[in-house]
């Protein structure tokens, strides 16, 4: 009969969680089994003497006895029934039943979990889950590449050459030279001038240039930024802000990297508020020259790429002063270095020094001490000084002119998020492929399980996998809109670009963070490249416009769109209209929608889109109403916009998410391959439901959804993460990133 108590004895000694007090409970229980023969009881009590532990062999014998029963009897589900089996189903043993149940509770461990320690389990649900190649990766990649496949292929061919092996030393000087050499190689391959007009030796292919930047971003991001500074910022500023004489003089040399240059806009004290910059360009009609000057240290050009080491010239933004009057910000080509690499007289260049990332880019500060340049160095597309020395511009407002100039450079806000997204794809490819192979923990006694099978791991990575696809299509759409823009769409496109830049780079920041943590210590080693991906993209949320500032601009643009749409109503009327209209639409169409939880409904694109669009409209109307109320109450509009800043973030975010969802759906509708389509729909569902889950506080607060629905959404997000896990590896393979570009040791070592 003592055999029936073996499992209990084993648990008493093996369980790491039992305290001495609980130990006493077991003694108490045994002592209370008065139906047991006295000898048996004494023997059992001697086995649970804290000061006299059993030998290991005895422990093993106890465990084996229990294990044998469990292997034989499938239906044993409690400690008592296990013990009962061991008693040989002795009816006397039933007397111990109540005591057992009570004890199980007191010991504070689930009965099944306890039993588990005796089992050599079958394959569990979690163990069995695995990668399945259920669709054609090549076809999926073709869908992602679209009509950019050829340029993608060309870029990757170059990047996988031996001389593009990653630079791994911490020697910053050597790193910068390496990055310069890479840029030179790309220029030699006719990639630097790709976007310049054919008449100046270029490729005349702006679309190709965006594709190029994206694919380059599978490699070192210092290379991408250095490349972008030279051919994008420096080259494009000459192209877009200059006129034919500048194009003739400079574009070919810029495109071949014969003339490295800078884009010198940001000043120390004038970063986000770029309108406030204070460098001056003072015109002298007698000598037909401009004098470029930095008034104080706070006004020097800062963070300027290509400045610290390689740049020979710079597009400098400065206030044009003519006859003592300020004509606003204009752009000038200013030489900064002599042929021997020394700064020209009057120019002081200092190095920004070590940075968190992008150390292959030579960022510097430039200070101008009355540097004289000829009149023709003014980039004079939007303003000029005429032959009689008067200022001329088709755009008389300084502000408007400046923003028109900036508008021509909006391409940067398309290239940057595309580059960022490529970096996140690299991170996801590394993290997901590793997590599919890395095993930790497992069912008691069973093999360890790939960590990608764990719910939290899926929860961390799968939503970003879905977002990578969603953003991919949205950024292609943004690019197309920009390339095929009509003048009157420009404001909308600028706002969309500013928004997508912010939304994407923040997503990438968070996604790469999850990648780092998901692969643990391996993610901390530079050899696995998450380090570089994270630190290089860190500044993407700040440069080309601080994200928070840009999101405010997007929101303001949405407010003005909103008003245009309802121009005939007064403000209050508009708000009421939109707000009530949105509510009514929903209420009418779906009287029980707020509590509807069936899967067909929750996986329906129409539901997702309606929820996104409703949120967008409602937040927008609410922000407009709030602003109006504040201003009506006498608050300075500047203050009112400050008070509403937090809400403005939501206005912008809700708008962007609606656009992203629509573009994902639109892309899917063009897919003919069933296998790919099925996965894309799953990713779209996960993207949509995960966002709805993220915003559930808002939906509940608004009353658009009630708790049964938000709970059902959560459950479905879990399920989608679980389902997509088996496609995750082929889905990151479909990004088409060469292994040498991923450059992660953990992917090449046997595991």
What lies within 8 Å, CB to CB, of 522 at 6+ separation is 434, 528, 746
Contacting a copy of itself within 444-483 (CB under 8 A): 444, 446, 448, 453-457, 459
Q: What is the Cα–Cα distance from 738 to 621, expressed in whole angstroms?
A: 47
Q: What is the Cα–Cα distance from 479 to 553, expressed in whole angstroms?
A: 20
Q: How far is the CB of 14 from a copy of itself (least distance, A)?
A: 4
Host H or E run for residue 322:
strand 313-322
Residue at token pair 């890479």: 182
Kindly state whether residue 295 participates in binding a copy of itself, applying the rule CB under 8 A: no
640 neighbors 587 (Cβ within 8 angstroms)? no
Contacting a copy of itself within 666-685 (CB under 8 A): none
Side-chain-facing half-sphere of 27: CA atoms under 13 Å: 13
Residue 122 token pair: 């079958």
Kindly state whether residue 513 participates in binding a copy of itself, applying the rule CB under 8 A: yes
What lies within 8 Å, CB to CB, of 736 at 6+ separation is 141, 144, 145, 152, 156
Provide the edge-to-edge strand list for the sheet that holds 347-351. 301-304, 364-368, 347-351
What lies within 8 Å, CB to CB, of 570 at 6+ separation is none
Q: Which stretch binds a copy of itself (CB under 8 A): 16-24, 157-165, 466-474, 661-669?
A: 16-24
Contacting a copy of itself within 633-662 (CB under 8 A): 635-640, 642-646, 649
Q: 75: exposed, middle or buried (C-beta count within 10 Å: 0-12, 13-18, 19+)?
A: exposed
Contacting a copy of itself within 337-366 (CB under 8 A): 352-357
Of 442, 459, 441, residue with least CA distance to 722 = 459
Kindly state whether residue 249 participates in binding a copy of itself, applying the rule CB under 8 A: no
Q: Which of 49, 90, 112, 188 binds a copy of itself (CB under 8 A)?
A: 112
The residue among 460 and 658 lying less far from a copy of itself, judged by its C-beta, is 460
Contacting a copy of itself within 205-234 (CB under 8 A): none
Kindly state whether residue 305 participates in binding a copy of itself, applying the rule CB under 8 A: no
The residue among 31 and 571 lying less far from a copy of itself, judged by its C-beta, is 571
The residue among 88 and 708 lying less far from a copy of itself, judged by its C-beta, is 708
Kindly state whether residue 23 participates in binding a copy of itself, applying the rule CB under 8 A: no
Kindly state whether residue 49 participates in binding a copy of itself, applying the rule CB under 8 A: no
Q: Which stretch binds a copy of itself (CB under 8 A): 229-237, 307-315, 418-426, 699-707?
A: 699-707
Contacting a copy of itself within 484-503 (CB under 8 A): 487-488, 491
Q: What is the Cα–Cα distance from 737 to 720, expressed in whole angstroms?
A: 25
Please report, for residues 4, 11, 72, 320, the alpha-carbon distance to residue 94 in angstroms, rounded to integers and kept in the order given: 11, 20, 21, 98
Kindly state whether residue 130 participates in binding a copy of itself, applying the rule CB under 8 A: no
Kindly state whether residue 509 participates in binding a copy of itself, applying the rule CB under 8 A: yes
Q: Which stretch binds a copy of itself (CB under 8 A): 106-114, 285-293, 474-482, 729-737?
A: 106-114
Contacting a copy of itself within 64-103 (CB under 8 A): 101-102
The residue among 207 and 355 lying less far from a copy of itself, judged by its C-beta, is 355
Q: How far is the CB of 556 from a copy of itself (least distance, A)?
A: 8
Q: What is the Cα–Cα distance from 199 to 211, expressed in whole angstroms?
A: 22
Contacting a copy of itself within 553-612 (CB under 8 A): 559-561, 563-564, 567-571
Residue at token pair 């050009």: 301
Kindly state whether residue 116 participates in binding a copy of itself, applying the rule CB under 8 A: yes
Q: How far is the CB of 324 from a copy of itself (least distance, A)?
A: 13
Kindly state whether residue 177 participates in binding a copy of itself, applying the rule CB under 8 A: no
């Amino acid at each position: 009969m003592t055999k029936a108590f073996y499992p209990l004895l084993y648990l008493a000694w093996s369980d790491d969680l039992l305290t001495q007090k609980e130990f006493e409970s077991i003694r108490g229980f045994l002592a209370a089994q008065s139906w047991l023969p006295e000898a048996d009881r004494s023997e059992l009590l001697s086995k649970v003497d804290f000061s006299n532990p059993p030998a290991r062999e005895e422990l093993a014998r106890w465990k084996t006895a229990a294990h044998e029963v469990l292997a034989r009897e499938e239906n044993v589900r409690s400690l008592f029934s296990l013990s009962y089996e061991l008693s040989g189903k002795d009816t006397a043993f039933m007397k111990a039943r109540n005591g057992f149940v009570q004890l199980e509770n007191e010991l504070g461990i689930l009965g099944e979990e306890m039993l588990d320690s005796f089992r050599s389990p079958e394959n569990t649900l979690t163990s069995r889950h695995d990668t399945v190649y259920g669709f054609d990766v090549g076809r999926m990649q073709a869908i992602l590449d679209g009509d950019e496949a050829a340029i993608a292929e060309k870029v990757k061919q170059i990047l996988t050459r031996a001389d593009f092996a990653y630079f791994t030393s911490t020697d910053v000087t050597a790193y910068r030279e390496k990055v310069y050499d890479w840029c030179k190689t790309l220029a030699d391959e006719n990639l630097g001038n790709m976007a310049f007009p054919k008449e100046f030796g270029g490729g005349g292919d702006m679309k190709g240039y965006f594709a190029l930047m994206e694919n380059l971003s599978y490699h070192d991001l210092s290379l991408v930024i250095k490349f972008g500074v030279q051919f994008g910022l420096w080259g494009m500023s000459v192209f877009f802000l200059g006129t034919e004489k500048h194009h003739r003089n400079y574009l070919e040399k810029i495109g071949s990297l014969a003339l490295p240059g800078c884009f010198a806009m940001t000043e120390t004290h004038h970063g986000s508020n770029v309108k406030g910059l204070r460098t001056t360009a003072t015109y002298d009609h007698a000598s037909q020259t401009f004098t470029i000057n930095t008034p104080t240290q706070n006004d020097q050009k800062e963070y300027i790429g290509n400045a610290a080491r390689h740049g020979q010239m710079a597009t400098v933004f400065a206030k044009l002063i003519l006859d003592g009057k300020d004509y606003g910000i204009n752009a000038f080509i200013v030489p900064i270095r002599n042929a021997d690499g020394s700064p020209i007289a009057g120019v002081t260049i200092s190095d920004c020094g070590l940075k968190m990332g992008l150390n292959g880019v030579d960022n510097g500060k430039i200070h101008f001490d009355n540097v004289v340049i000829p009149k023709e160095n003014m980039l004079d597309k939007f303003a000029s000084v005429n032959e009689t020395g008067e200022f001329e511009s088709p755009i008389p407002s300084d502000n408007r002119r400046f923003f028109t100039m900036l508008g021509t450079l909006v391409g940067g806000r398309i290239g940057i998020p595309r580059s960022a997204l490529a970096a996140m794809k690299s991170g996801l490819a590394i993290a997901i492929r590793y997590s599919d192979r890395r095993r930790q923990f497992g069912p008691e006694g069973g093999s360890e399980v790939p960590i990608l099978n764990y719910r939290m791991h899926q929860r961390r990575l799968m939503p970003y996998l879905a977002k990578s696809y969603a953003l991919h299509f949205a950024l292609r759409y943004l690019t197309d809109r920009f390339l095929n823009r009509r003048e009157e769409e420009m404001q909308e496109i600028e706002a969309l670009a500013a928004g997508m830049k912010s939304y994407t780079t923040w997503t990438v920041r968070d996604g790469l963070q999850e990648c780092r943590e998901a692969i643990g210590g391996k993610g901390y080693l530079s050899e696995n490249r998450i380090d570089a991906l994270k630190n290089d993209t860190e500044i993407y949320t700040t440069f080309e416009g601080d994200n928070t500032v840009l999101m405010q601009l997007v929101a303001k643009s949405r407010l003005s769109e909103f008003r245009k749409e309802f121009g005939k109503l007064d403000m209050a009327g508009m708000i009421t209209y939109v707000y009530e209209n949105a509510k009514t639409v929903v209420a009418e169409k779906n009287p029980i929608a707020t509590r509807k939880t069936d899967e067909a409904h929750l996986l329906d694109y129409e539901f997702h889109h309606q929820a996104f669009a409703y949120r967008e409209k409602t937040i927008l109307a609410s922000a407009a109403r709030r602003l109006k109320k504040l201003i009506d109450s006498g608050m300075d509009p500047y203050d009112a916009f400050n008070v509403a800043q937090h809400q403005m973030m939501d206005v912008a975010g809700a708008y962007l998410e609606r656009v992203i969802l629509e573009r994902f759906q639109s892309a899917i509708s063009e897919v003919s391959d069933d296998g790919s389509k099925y996965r894309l729909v799953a990713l779209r569902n996960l993207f949509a439901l995960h966002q709805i889950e993220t915003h559930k506080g808002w939906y509940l607060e608004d009353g658009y959804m009630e708790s049964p629905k938000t709970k059902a959404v959560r459950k479905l997000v879990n399920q989608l993460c679980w389902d997509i896990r088996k496609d995750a590896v082929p889905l990151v393979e479909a990004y088409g990133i060469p292994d040498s570009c991923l450059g992660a040791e953990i992917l090449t070592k046997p595991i």
